[in-house]
Amino acid sequence: MFFRRKGRLRKEYDEKLLLQLHRFKNDWQKEKHLLEKSFDPSEEVICQTKIAEVKYIFLLIEAKQRKVSLFS
């Protein structure tokens, strides 16, 4: 009884993790594109780009540890 719930919760949170992963990847790509297009980027833009990259990499590592796949 409890094991079925555990599997369902894991699947639900894995789906949420994948959604966040896609969202943070898009945010990072937008920030990177903005940084590449600017002539004289400010420190704030550079920091926001690095923060977006770190958030994406963190979620990527988390997905790898949880063995989450897009094709599951």
Q: In Å, what is the CA distance from 22 to each residue of 30, 55, 62, 65?
A: 12, 11, 13, 17
Q: Which among 27, 14, 22 is positioned nearest to 67, based on CA atoms?
A: 14
pLDDT of residue 72 exceeding 60, the answer is no
pLDDT of residue 10 exceeding 90, the answer is no
Positive or negative, the CA dihedral 23, 24, 29, 35 is positive
43 by DSSP, 3-state: which?
Answer: helix
- Tell me the pTM: 0.79
Mean pLDDT value across residues 50-71: 90
Per-residue confidence band for 9, with pLDDT thresholds at 50, 70 and 90:
confident
